[in-house]
Amino acid sequence: MKYLFYSCLLFLFSCKSAPVKNNFEPIPFERYSLENGLEIYAIRDSSLPRLSVALLLKSGSASDPAELSGLNSMMMSALDQGTRSKTAEQISDEFNFYGSELSQSPGMDSSTVSFSALSKDQEPLLKLYAEVLFQPSFPQKEIDRLRSEALASLQRVQDQPGTFVAWKSDETLFPNHPYGMLGLGTAQTLKKISRKDIVDFYPKIFSPDRAALFVSGDVTDKTIETIKKLFGSWKKSSGPILQRLVPLENGPSKIILYSKKGLAQTQIRISHRSVNRQSSEFIPFRLGLYALGGPMSSRLMQRIRNDLGLTYSISSSIESRAQSGVLKISTSTRHEKVKETISEILKLVDVVRNEGVLESEKQEAQTYFATQFPSAIQTADQISLFLENLMSENLPLSYLADFPANYEKVSLKEVNQALAENLKRETNITVYSDGAAVEAQLRSLGLPLQVIQVK
């Protein structure tokens, strides 16, 4: 049976005018439900002879067993490394022959497998795509190679200060949970993952009732029929998916210093667990955080960057995940200004928590979030990128269509109530720096300090 739904992709850019009523017309797309539980979403646009296809799996690294962190990422990476009848090289050559390539994107709460190509080549590519999805062989030699590459990538992370401190900030918020780990896993768990672990894990993740297929571009009735034929025989898996629950409460404020000799500047992340999109406070809180640390005119940019000259850039934001939101204030500064930077940030957060923001700041945030949308949806990858969070967080498809109105109707009182409630006093401060240059400053802040050496 076919249903008609409406959605839109959000393309955000800065604007300082007062909020205006949004006259956006949602873009229609078709939905097909197969007997095995698979949902197919199709956007027809024949203006270009191209087709994009993406399978969204409603599981990610959050489903990794505790002792096998990185299993989902390893399984997804090994997916195209061989089937029952083709080698990894043959699969790659066949996609390349048609000017295409397969892309696997393992995420935290969901993962995608996608490709795009000329629409005239869709039939052989859809067959190849289905073979890769449903008949992976997971060769041992390819698993060993992928493991070595993942271990090397982990080693390189510490040389990327922004990535490293973001990871360690999450690790502090979500100890012993996949939300606090890199999707790649850890050196210890990667060495434990066996081919049997991957083979046993695969059917738990690849099940039609836990997936959605997106197809866009030059989609014809024949395209839909081909997909139904290829995916209609996909059998459901048995057994529940593991979902490791996050801790419910934030702990007391603390500072963790990751010390590495020779770092040129200090990276700072101030964070705590917060609401996610399922909460009625998410939108008001997000508007308030934009006023705190969004545009150049935001409170943090004005005070920390413009008035005090402590940083080039600083921002506040909220990330939404299936089980929790995360508030983050991110910046970097000179070693000798670490104490001053952290102190001034915390002072300003206290002011916004206690006093709220102004009507003009709320209106600027509403305009930013609510008024601008793209003129068209082109690829399944784009759809997946924005619908991924909706599906993994069990939000309705109407969420995007209702987006402008939901932001426009928020009052200043609601924004300031959300700030007072959700800007917590208990925060985790994660610092990546040369410990010899900053440890004394951090100790003088009067919060518990843990120092971890990074080699």
For residues 382 and 25, give the distance between their C-alpha atoms in angstroms, rounded to a whole number: 18
From 232, 263, 288, the end of a domain falls on 232
Say whether both 110 and 161 belong to one domain.
yes
Sheet with 266-274, edge to edge strand ranges: 314-320, 325-333, 266-274, 428-433, 254-259, 449-453
217, 280: one domain: no
Same domain, 214 and 265: no
pLDDT reported for residue 13: 32
Query: Is 8 part of any domain?
Result: no
Residue 4 pLDDT > 60:
no
Judge whether residue 291 has pLDDT over 80: yes
Residues 204 and 267 in one domain: no
Residues 55 and 154 in one domain: yes
Q: Is 309 found in the same domain as 204?
A: no
Is the domain of 273 the same as that of 149? no
The predicted-structure confidence for 319-354, as pLDDT tens digits, reads as follows 988 888 999 999 999 999 999 999 999 999 999 999
pLDDT in tens, 421-440: 999 998 999 999 999 999 99
Residue carrying structure tokens 């080693």: 155
Q: How many domains does the chain have?
A: 2
Is the Cβ–Cβ distance between 71 and 193 less than 8 Å? yes
pLDDT of residue 25: 56
215 and 77 both lie in a single domain:
yes
Are both 199 and 309 inside the same structural domain?
no
**Residue 287 belongs to domain spanning:** 254-378+394-453
Q: Are residues 203 and 262 in the same domain?
A: no
* 303 and 159 part of one domain: no
CATH number for the domain harbouring residue 419: 3.30.830.10
The residue whose two tokens read 């040389």 is: 159
Is 177 among the domain residues? Answer: yes
The three-state DSSP-derived secondary structure of 67-87 is HHCCHHHHHHHHCCCEECCCE
Asked whether residue 240 is domain-assigned, the answer is no
Is 214 a member of any domain? yes
The edge-to-edge listing of strands for the beta sheet with 50-57 is 2-7, 27-33, 39-44, 211-217, 50-57, 111-118, 103-106
* Residues whose CB falls within 8 Å of the CB of residue 373, separated by 6 or more in sequence, listed in order: 8, 9, 10, 11, 22, 24, 404
Q: Per residue in 35-53, pLDDT tens?
A: 999 999 888 888 889 999 9
Domain assignment of residue 249, yes or no: no
Whole-prediction pTM:
0.87
Please indicate, yes or no, if residue 322 is contained in any of the structural domains. Answer: yes
- Judge whether 2 lies within some domain: no
Instruction: Give the C-alpha separation, 379 to 400, whole Å.
Output: 17
Whether 278 and 200 share a structural domain:
no
Q: d(Cα 163, Cα 418) in Å, to the nearest integer?
A: 29
Residue 356 lies in a domain: yes
